[in-house]
Amino acid sequence: MPFPKNFIWGAATASYQVEGGVHEDGRGASIWDIFSHTPGKTKNGDTGDVACDSYHRWREDIDLLKAMHLTAYRFSIAWTRIFPEGEGKANPAGLAWYDRFVDALLAAGIEPYVTLYHWDLPQTLQDKGGWQNADTAKAFAAYAAAVAAHFKGRVRYYFTLNEPQCSIGLGYGTGVHAPGLQLPEDALFAAWHTMIYAHCLAADAIRSADPAAKVGIAPTGRICTPATDAPADIAAARAATFALADGDWTFAYTPALDPVCGLGWSKIAGGVTQCAVDAIPQEQRNALPLGKPDFIGMNIYNSVVVRAGADGKPQFCKRSAGYPRTAIGWPITPESMEWGTRFVWERYHLPIYITENGLSCTDHLYLDGKVHDPARIDFTHRYLLALRRAVDSGVDVRGYFHWSLLDNFEWSEGYNERFGLVHVDFATGQRTPKDSAAWYAKVAATNGETL
């Protein structure tokens, strides 16, 4: 059976990962410009200075989307192209570039799904405290309002934040991502709730600027799947998916979605972080109703297996030796797509888009000049079958965006990992669609009937 009528098939990228052109048309520096140029922060010292050079080759990228019969493209806008200093007067050249890009997408019959923040905070705002400073949330809302007003009638779908769990947990917690900080637990949570405050203010700003626009958020987090179909195991997996405790709350859906979906701040076991929850300023608590999303984006890659112990409490199951993994080392768990969407749908009852799903492979050009990636085809096939099971069970899933359209700059991993449907020669910028691109084109053209 095909997917529901009007199901969206797309691909996704992020500005710093693909655009390049970091010094062109008045663009300001982001935290990733500074971080990637700091010795020892990325594999091989790689930076996004050129990346996929999509700033100049964007027409080719749109042609690739068309060739795959994709009707939507999720991309992020570089905040520092619009406001080079993070705030103040908008940069006409930056807006003009995105004008050309958005207009060309629409002319090609491709719906733009815009992410406003995919980790590239303006460095000038970081110098003032970044997400530890509530003024950053207000600057983000002003940026969101300017974008929504400018693209009114052309962009209908916005994601405010991509994976706040990673931008805070990895950027302010472990320090492996920009800006490379390692904050104590209470300060880490303070940065987190500033980001949630930013989402709320931005959602309100977008709707005020363009009442027809739809606003969502795209978090990620731990997904737990049941060891068996026994009700006790399912209940244990659900509980473990949304459980929070000091030290592991940064990678969970709950602290992103509960407060903005009307469930309030969840109890965090342990005490240290809960004290920070209790200290959230009233102004920020009052903003929570403004952040109710129209839809939820889910970035799903893998999951862990949980069973109910003798006392009914969740127990995590160890994987068997030799369990299948991707090139980056992540386990291959198609069941994460079914159970993750089911649990989130049951808890929040909001439409869901799969905003990221894919894998890294050791792709290369073969002697025949093509890129054969059967592992990506098999992986995506399995995950889409699991997604269809979720849809068949009643989960309201509206679309699927493959990560990624292009091989790109994978943050601290540099160019070491290839997630794209399209191979990129980073020395020349040459794009070569992989076998998976042709396979995915058939899936999109038939609305999944070929699965």
Question: 215: which strand partners?
Answer: 158
Question: Which pair of tokens denotes residue 97?
Answer: 């570039």
Chain centroid to CA 447: how far?
Answer: 23
Residue 421 contacts residue 436 (beta carbons within 8 Å): yes
Check if the beta carbon of residue 296 is closer than 8 Å to that of residue 264.
no
Distance CA 369, CA 372 (A): 10
- From the list 87, 335, 338, 356, the catalytic residue is 356
Residue 86: closest CA among 116, 115, 121, 118: 121
Cα-atom radius of gyration of the chain, to the nearest Å? 21
The string of DSSP letters for 60-107 reads HHHHHHHHTT--EEEEE--HHHH-TTSSSS--HHHHHHHHHHHHHHHH
**Residues 419, 422, 423, 424, Cα dihedral to 10°:** -100
Hey, which residues does 403 pair with through a beta bridge? 12
DSSP H or E stretch at residue 360: none
- CB contact at 8 A, 206 and 213: yes
Phi-psi region of 199 (alpha: psi -120 to 50; beta: other; left: phi over 0): alpha
Angle at CA of residue 125, ends 120 and 131, nearest 5°: 75
Neighbouring-strand partners of residue 73: 11, 112
Residue 85 known to be catalytic: no
Q: DSSP string spanning 107-123?
A: HTT-EEEEEEESS--BH
d(CA 222, CA 298) in angstroms, rounded, equals 11
Please confirm whether the linkage preceding 266 is cis (ω < 30° from 0).
Answer: no
Task: Count the neighbouring beta carbons within 10 Å of the beta carbon of residue 289.
Answer: 12
State the maximum Cα–Cα separation within the chain, in Å, rounded to a whole number: 63
Strand 224-226 with 397-403, pairing: unpaired
163, 335, 338, 410: the catalytic one is 163
Q: Which of 215, 218, 214, 204 is nearest to 290 (CA)?
A: 204
Measured distance CA(352)–CA(370) in Å, rounded: 35
CA pseudo-torsion sign 280, 282, 287, 291:
positive
Which residues are annotated as catalytic?
163, 356
